[in-house]
Amino acid sequence: MSKAYEHVRKLAEEIGPRGSCTPEEKRAGEYILDKFTQMGLTTRVETFKAVTSFSWAFGLLYLLFVIAAVIFPFNNQVALGIALFALIAFYLESNTFPFLTKVLPKRGSQNIIAHVPARSKDIRQVVIMAHYDSSRSALSFSPQMVKDFRRSYLMMVGSMVLITLAYTVGVWSGLSSNLFWYISLPPALYLFFAFLLLAHREVKGVYTPGGNDNASGLSVLLEVGNVLAHLPLLTTSVTLLATGAEESGTNGALDFLRKHRPSQNTYFINLDNLGIGKVSVITKEGILGMKPSAPELISAAKAVAQEKGLDVDFRPYNLLTTDATVTLMRKYPTMGIMAFDEAGLLPNWHWPTDRAEFVQPENLETAKELVLGVLRKLES
């Protein structure tokens, strides 16, 4: 058994499901801290407060559109105000800019951080990150529905925009508001269905074992750290960042940027869902508006893959946010490494079947060699 796969089994089987801000997430953090310490690295734990689920903010936003539809026949302007507020809040939250979540109840989580200084002059800084919490399952991620996840998500966004436009025209056109209310009813019903799915997730969903998402990425982070601990880079300092509460809203990555404010030329490499399928370098990322990955990191990854004969794809990622979304949205040079099945999906994504037994050890080795190769390319 490879050392990386041992980490996957420890996290996904022995510790098990690691929901954001739960005692099990904290246990996983203690395991990571212990491993970093055994490597002889300078480590620290940084605590922060985070919402426990993305369902709270987004469920409330969907419900606000439904409330706007109920109010519109009685007060057009108030309904329009509610819809505009919800649309703006949704855009910000979806792009990793906390808005509504700032006022929601929170619990404690933590980032586990280790630092590998450069052996000589510190010319460049690289942060390698991977989250270690696991998600709660939901019907929208079931094998029957997940293949249409992006389409359903875009229909939901379209419903929000249609409601807001209908009410805007209804208020400012001077035409009969009944027509615009009728137009808004089908998208409002669709958003009510989306709200019910999130409510069902919180009542009936279970925290997944998180073998692929994201014990796989965390295991590669640990093994890359182990190599660097024995042979640091000459002119590049590396920060190993294990983020907590990513599944409830990329909270660990956000907290790291708030506290450390790294220079704008700091490189970020994110490891997420890379244990099953074809290992892929993410060329651009985003479900609403795609942000390109750093060209120098992509170029380095292509050179490493060719030189080492690594079986790696280069492709965009257009599903939900990752920690890489946080840094891309703030214009940091970033690259994600993930893995996808033949349908272009993340295997066992947010579903109880996300167990360690399905993780492919060879994927972990490929990702490890890819990351180490990219770091050495940056050196040269």
Domains in the chain, start-ordered, CATH in brackets? 3-52+108-137+208-379 (3.40.630.10), 56-99+142-204 (no CATH)
Q: How far apart are CA 34 and CA 54, in angstroms?
A: 29
Which residue's entry shows tokens 């029957």? 144
Task: Please give the model's pTM, rounded to 2 decimal places.
Answer: 0.95
| 175 token code pair | 């035409």
Residue 323 exposure: Cα atoms within 13 Å on the Cβ side? 35
Helix (H) or strand (E) holding 336: strand 334-340
Give, for all 380 residues of the chain, the pLDDT tens digit.
689 999 999 999 999 999 999 999 999 999 999 999 999 999 999 999 999 999 999 999 999 999 999 999 999 999 999 999 999 999 999 999 999 999 999 999 999 999 999 999 899 999 999 999 999 999 999 999 999 999 999 999 999 999 999 999 999 886 767 899 999 999 999 999 999 999 999 999 999 999 999 999 999 999 999 999 999 999 999 999 999 999 999 999 999 999 999 999 999 999 999 999 999 999 999 998 899 999 999 999 999 999 999 999 999 999 999 999 999 999 999 999 999 999 899 999 999 999 999 999 999 999 999 999 999 999 98
Instruction: Decide: 209 and 351 in contact? Cβ < 8 Å.
Output: no
Residue 220 exposure: Cα atoms within 13 Å on the Cβ side? 34
Instruction: Decide: 96 and 39 in contact? Cβ < 8 Å.
Output: no
